[in-house]
Amino acid sequence: MTAQTSVPTSIRPGAQWRNWGRSERTRPEFVAQPTSVDEVVETINFARDHGLTVKAWGAGHSFTSIAVTDGVHLDVGALDGVLAVDDTHVTLGAGTNLHQLPALLEPLGLALANMGDIDRQTISGAISTGTHGTGARFGGIATQVRGVTLVTAAGAVLRINATENPELLPAAALGLGALGILVDVTIECVPTFLLHAVERPEPADTVLNEWLQRSAETDHFEFYVWPHTTTALTKSNTRLPGDEPRHPLTKFSSWFDDEFMANGVYRAIVAAGKHVPAVIPPINRLAVKLSGNREFTDVSSRVFVTNRTVRFRELEYALPIDAVPDAVRAIQKLITDRKWKVSFPIEVRSAAADSLLLSTASGRATGYVAVHRYWREDPTEYFREVEAIMMAHDGRPHWGKLHNRHAESLSGMYPGFNEFLAVRELLDPGRVFTNDYLRQVLGK
């Protein structure tokens, strides 16, 4: 029997925790806020020796219970910042938030190759769930990982990169938090670049017909189909060298579109729609008229990222890229047939195929289709029916967004599923890092 370790100084009694989407809450027995790798090791040894599970939490931006534990919640927020730079490879503390990156990377002349909608997440949380942006030639953030340092269940500090334990990288770069605690992450960055953004309302049917061509031709193409309208708002971003002239949005235009319309007015609209659903269709038509017609050029992070303050819940599936038009049309028909009033758009993005074991784009060019519901509305029925459509199109659920899939149905969806389970068995045989979510999606 292992000798029981005393309570490390970085550990205190747990407090109530909620995720951003308010779909999960927990009161863990302990919260640990380590300020060094040694304190992470101490925490894991303490938890393991006392029969407690450990989960790191990042920024709490997953909608699923993937970050939940009743044991020790480990906040890696103090392990942040740039730890090393080697040409374009930058090693970041695991708790670095994506919104810190422009200030950290721009002085080095570097940027992330691609980003998602927001930048509140931590780098470790983002890679652990396969967070992605859009662009048929670009992978999600985890595909840029060139190395990680992980503290395992045995309390060992394990380096995984091209020269040390390289065979573990396809699992550890996107590990669902199941393999250990990441303490640093090395990302391959790219030279700073600008994006020329064109945002337009267009006929949804045309956009769906042209989906494959436009996502292939445009560096970063995405669109939002508004229920109860025939319109899609398209966003086409083209990469330009970092020294080209910038033409950013004016302060007023940026505030009006991104804060006032997208957050302020929108919050009032979706809140009203919860009580009087009949107002949703005309309001969606108005929203489409008032937004999404602009063109500007700015540094990549400012174009990729938007500020989301209207709380919602989300389901997102990764489909074979050519399945997107049929799937979106099926969702449109579902909403019409069921006479549902849905205030949030259907969001469509793309990613290149990659070779990470549990990446939702593993082995296939991918189209992502996401649906959302205001956080005070019950999403169950809408999400369940959309999920059935996604499954009929061979879909894989985003690990951080709501879904109902289990290991039995997921294992056949990923060529590397069993290899991932073998790595987990090697690094965490006693399941120190498990929780209900991991038991659901990975099995025991």
Ligand X SMILES: Cc1cc2nc3c(=O)[nH]c(=O)nc-3n(C[C@H](O)[C@H](O)[C@H](O)COP(=O)(O)OP(=O)(O)OC[C@H]3O[C@@H](n4cnc5c(N)ncnc54)[C@H](O)[C@@H]3O)c2cc1C
**In terms of CB distance, is 193 or 375 closer to ligand X?**
375
Q: Which stretch binds ligand X (CB under 6 A): 31-39, 128-136, 161-169, 388-396?
A: 128-136
Query: At closest approach, how far in Å is the CB of 174 from ligand X?
Result: 10
Least distance to ligand X, CB of residue 116, Å: 3
Q: Residue 118: which region, alpha, beta or left (left: phi > 0; alpha: psi -120 to 50)? A: beta
Tell me the C-alpha distance between 235 and 38, whole Å: 45
Using CB under 6 A, which of the segments 120-128, 153-161, 237-245, 285-293 binds ligand X? Answer: 120-128
| Binding span for ligand X by CB under 6 A among 163-171, 173-181, 334-342, 350-358 | 173-181
Give Cα 288 to chain centroid, integer Å: 26
Q: Does 20 bind ligand X (CB under 6 A)?
A: yes
**Of the residues 67, 303, 369, 371, which one makes contact with ligand X according to CB under 6 A:** 67
Q: Which of residues 174-203 bind ligand X (CB under 6 A)?
A: 176-177, 181-182
> Among 61, 146, 220, 372, which residue interacts with ligand X (rule: CB under 6 A)?
61
Interaction of residue 242 with ligand X, rule CB under 6 A? no
**Total residues binding ligand X (CB under 6 A):** 33
Helix (H, G, I), strand (E, B) or coil at 257: helix
β partners of residue 374: 312
Q: Are the C-beta atoms of 417 and 357 separated by less than 8 Å?
A: yes
Both tokens of 415, joined, read 């060529």
CB atoms within 10 A of CB 409: 12
Which one of 45-53, 124-132, 274-282, 419-427 is the stretch in contact with ligand X (CB under 6 A)?
124-132
Q: Which region, judged by CB under 6 A, interacts with ligand X, from 24-32, 122-130, 250-258, 270-278?
A: 122-130
Bridge partners, 298 (sequence order): 195
Question: Would you call 63 helix, strand, or coil by DSSP?
Answer: coil
CB of 438 to ligand X, least distance (A): 8
- Applying CB under 6 A, which of residues 31, 32, 94, 189 lies at the interface with ligand X? 94
| Cβ atoms within 10 Å, residue 408 | 8
Cβ partners under 8 Å of residue 294, min gap 6: 197, 199, 249, 253, 257
Among 26, 43, 62, 297, contact with ligand X (rule: CB under 6 A)? 62
Question: Shortest Cβ distance from residue 378 to ligand X (Å)?
Answer: 18
**CB under 6 A: which stretch of 10-18, 127-135, 162-170, 295-303 binds ligand X?**
127-135
Compute the least distance from the CB of residue 311 to ligand X, in Å. Answer: 8
- Give the nearest distance from C-beta 436 to ligand X in angstroms: 12
**Considering only residues 21, 28, 147, 155, which one is a binding residue for ligand X as defined by CB under 6 A?**
21
3-state secondary structure of 97: strand
CB 402 within 8 A of CB 23: yes
Which of the residues 390 through 419 are near ligand X (CB under 6 A)? 398, 400
Distances (CA, A) of 86 to 96, 97, 99, 293: 18, 20, 22, 41
Long-range Cβ contact pairs of 95-99 (< 8 A, separation 24 or more): 95/58, 95/122, 95/124, 96/122, 96/123, 97/59, 97/121, 97/122, 97/123, 98/122, 98/123, 98/126, 98/305, 99/305
* Residue whose token pair is 């500090």: 157
Q: Which is nearer to ligand X, 207 or 351 (CB)?
A: 351
To the nearest whole angstrom, how small is the minimum distance from the Cβ of residue 278 to ligand X?
A: 27
- Give the three-state DSSP class for 127: helix
CB of 337 to ligand X, least distance (A): 29
CB atoms within 10 A of CB 186: 23
62/334 with CB nearer ligand X: 62
- Of residues 357 through 396, those in contact with ligand X by CB under 6 A are none
Minimum distance from residue 429 beta carbon to ligand X (Å): 17
Q: Which is nearer to ligand X, 57 or 382 (CB)?
A: 57
Nearer to ligand X, 67 or 335 (CB): 67
Residues 131-150 within binding reach of ligand X (CB under 6 A): 131-132
Is residue 66 a contact residue for ligand X (CB under 6 A)?
yes
Task: Give just the sign of the alpha carbon dihedral 291, 19, 400, 193.
Answer: positive
Nearer to ligand X, 211 or 399 (CB): 399
> Strand, helix or coil at 312?
strand
Which of 40, 57, 32 is CA-nearest to residue 126? Answer: 57
Residues near ligand X (CB under 6 A): 20-21, 55-62, 66-67, 76, 94, 116-118, 121-122, 124-126, 128-129, 131-132, 176-177, 181-182, 308, 398, 400
